[in-house]
Amino acid sequence: YPKAFIFDLDGVITDTSEFHYLAWKKLADEIGIKIDREFNEKLKGISRMESLDLILALSPSNNNLSADEKERLASKKNEHYQELIQSINATNILPGIEVLLKEIRRNNIKIALGSASKNATEVLKQLGITEYFDFVVDASTVTKGKPDPETFTTAADRLHIPYEACVGVEDAKAGVEAINKAEMFSVGVGEIKHLGDAKYVVQDTSELVFEEIVKRYND
Ligand code: B16
Ligand code: MG
């Protein structure tokens, strides 16, 4: 059996990745840049400022914005995001996740969160699932975000679990890369064309079944 599961938040535990997309889209509209869902795959799992830089790079006219102006745009996106997540609750937990968390707990396996989001703690609270997590790694805990492995290695270190005994679950390409670099077992949730590097890929969270993941881990 693995000794720890480390979960990404947005797009794995909850459907907030859709809210991140809508918030970026609103901001991009405001500055006259078009983004779509395909482009949004690049924004998943990476930090707020890195996401903004990728969006600004789509339009040459935004090339040399000052640091202050970029801060302002990033804060504005976060305002849009916080407005969208104001009303989230347990119904926003993705299918199969709560059963999976319970099953992991029942088997005395540790659980950590490995999120790039500064809003992670607040989102867990609103979903009412904080108690499942032995440790939370968010954007304030690490210096190097995904695809650097630090988010996942920090969680394992704090739980005192060797990396090879950890399972990481991610919906983002950058996140799967981070798990693989940490030499943990990577589970990808989403389309195989984005997540082909994961050791095990499921299409959506309802397919995240404890016994099945453990079986793949042991193979
Ligand atoms: P915030 P995750 C990531 O969370 C999101 O996937 C990514 O789209 C977002 O830009 C990032 O958090 C930062 O979020 O602006 O709230 O600090 O998927 O790593 O849980
Ligand atoms: Mg994610």
- Give percent above pLDDT 90 in the chain: 97
Q: How confident is the model at residue 63 (pLDDT cuts 50, 70, 90)?
A: confident
Task: Report d(CA 67, CA 73) in Å as an integer.
Answer: 10
CA 17 to chain centroid: 8
Question: Taking CB atoms and a 6 Å cutoff, what residues make up the pocket around ligand 1?
Answer: 8-11, 17, 20, 43-48, 51, 78, 115-119, 139, 172
- Complex ipTM: 0.92
The DSSP call for residue 14 is: B
- Inform me whether the pLDDT recorded for 42 exceeds 80: yes
67 or 63: which carries more pLDDT confidence? 67
- CA–centroid distance, 116 to ligand 2, in Å, is 8
Q: How confident is the model at residue 201 (pLDDT cuts 50, 70, 90)?
A: very high
* Tens-place pLDDT, residues 72-117: 999 999 999 999 999 999 999 999 999 999 999 999 999 999 999 9
**Residue 97 to residues 91, 157, 167, Cα–Cα distance (Å):** 11, 24, 15
Asked about 10 being catalytic, the answer comes back as yes
Task: Report d(CA 13, CA 124) in Å as an integer.
Answer: 9
> Global pTM?
0.93
pLDDT for the residue 64: 82
- Give percent above pLDDT 70 in the chain: 100
Q: Give SS3 for 115.
A: coil
